[in-house]
Amino acid sequence: MSMFAGSMGAGRDEVGEKVASFPTYEKAQKAVSSLIAGEVPARDIAIVGSGLRSIERITGRLGYATAARSGALNGLMLGLLFAFIFVLGTPTVEISAFIGVLLVGMALGMLLSLGTYSIVRRRRDFASVMQVTADHYDVCVAAASLTKARDVLGPAAAARTVVARPATPTDAAPPQYGERVQTPGAPAPAVPPRPPVPSRLADDEPPRYGERIAPPVAPAADPEPSSDGAPKSDAQRDDR
């Protein structure tokens, strides 16, 4: 991947269009090999990892014994390198000198490892290996070679993923000035209780301040009875 990054250039961020997606990096590598075998230019191909995450695997607990053992192994390799160089310079060297160089290398490795552990043991007391993985890997190809890449991979190539946006209702009127717009997902505001309707005033209750009182209606007068016992009409009253 570093060779690909160097050939693409530092200032180039465009990787082309996605033609396939794979759950593992190995399958993405096989797809790239198929594209190159199908005469797709290697400079037009890119592998893009999406959903990157780092995984730290704990390999063991650190201690002075563990640090000394790992330092001795590293020092042994360093001693072998120095002994090989020493033997090349002096072919008639004795075996004791060869073993002495190995022991010096192991001692140096142990001292360096113990010194490093004494510095970092307050921050962490375990050994681990860091690994960066991705949820899926997309094989992208430049626009100039897109058609050829899809022909090589066949109909199984994944198309560009389009995320559908939620439709906006068109019949809803825009909010008026001063109207409170409720945020989607927020709980609806509580409706205040309505005040109780005042009951009708009793007949004997005095009128309140500012209340208009209707004048009382006079009762209609009963007609006067005539001599024959029948009530007189208005015309008969006028004749009298």
Domains in the chain (CATH in brackets) are 12-52+134-153 (3.30.70), 58-131 (no CATH)
CA angle 21, 27, 29 (to 5 degrees): 100
One-letter identity of residue 44: D
Please check the confidence at residue 167 and state whether its pLDDT lies above 50. no
Report the first-to-last Cα separation within the chain, whole angstroms: 131
Q: Helices (DSSP H) in 11-94: which residue ranges?
A: 25-37, 64-89
What is the sign of the dihedral through the CA atoms of 170, 173, 174 and 179? negative
What is the sign of the dihedral through the CA atoms of 125, 129, 135 and 138? positive
State the residue for tokens 């007189």: 232
pLDDT digits (tens, 9 = 90+) for 36-92: 988 888 898 999 998 888 888 888 887 888 888 888 888 888 888 888 887 777 767
| 20 and 45 Cβ atoms separated by less than 8 Å | no
Helix (H) or strand (E) holding 45: strand 45-50
| 105 and 80 Cβ atoms separated by less than 8 Å | yes
pLDDT digits (tens, 9 = 90+) for 212-231: 666 666 655 555 555 555 55
State the residue for tokens 């797809």: 31
pTM: 0.43
How do beta strands 45-50 and 136-141 pair? antiparallel
pLDDT band at 138 (very low <50, low <70, confident <90, very high): very high
Residue 122 token pair: 């307050």
- For residue 128, the SS3 value is strand
